[in-house]
Structure 1
Amino acid sequence: LSRAADYQERELTSTVQTMVGLLGPLMLLTMAGFVILIVLAVMLPIMQMNNFMAG
């Protein structure tokens, strides 16, 4: 029973490490998406105003 518990603990630790390893890049991409949305929300009205003034 002790060996089974050790095996399960190692398997769980490995799974958690894999999930944490995948979560880092996923969070980076999510944050990059939010930054792009904020930049577009600021820049698009400025560009539209520029086009309105030009013509």
Structure 2
Amino acid sequence: MNEFYEASDETEALATIDLALDRGVTLLDTADMYGVGANEELVGRAIRHRRIEI
């Protein structure tokens, strides 16, 4: 969900993670090789207000 493959849209990425969590996804897997930590930061922003739930 970063610019590793092509341009990305953070708003869309956050909405995608939010929808996945709403639909029951319980594992968000990422690696620091994609965007040098950018995905981990994105996931952190996505779950910031849902940490208790997750």
**So what's the TM-score if we normalise by structure 1?**
0.28
Computing the radius of gyration over CA atoms, which structure comes out larger, 1 or 2?
A: 1
Instruction: Say which structure is richer in helix.
Output: 1
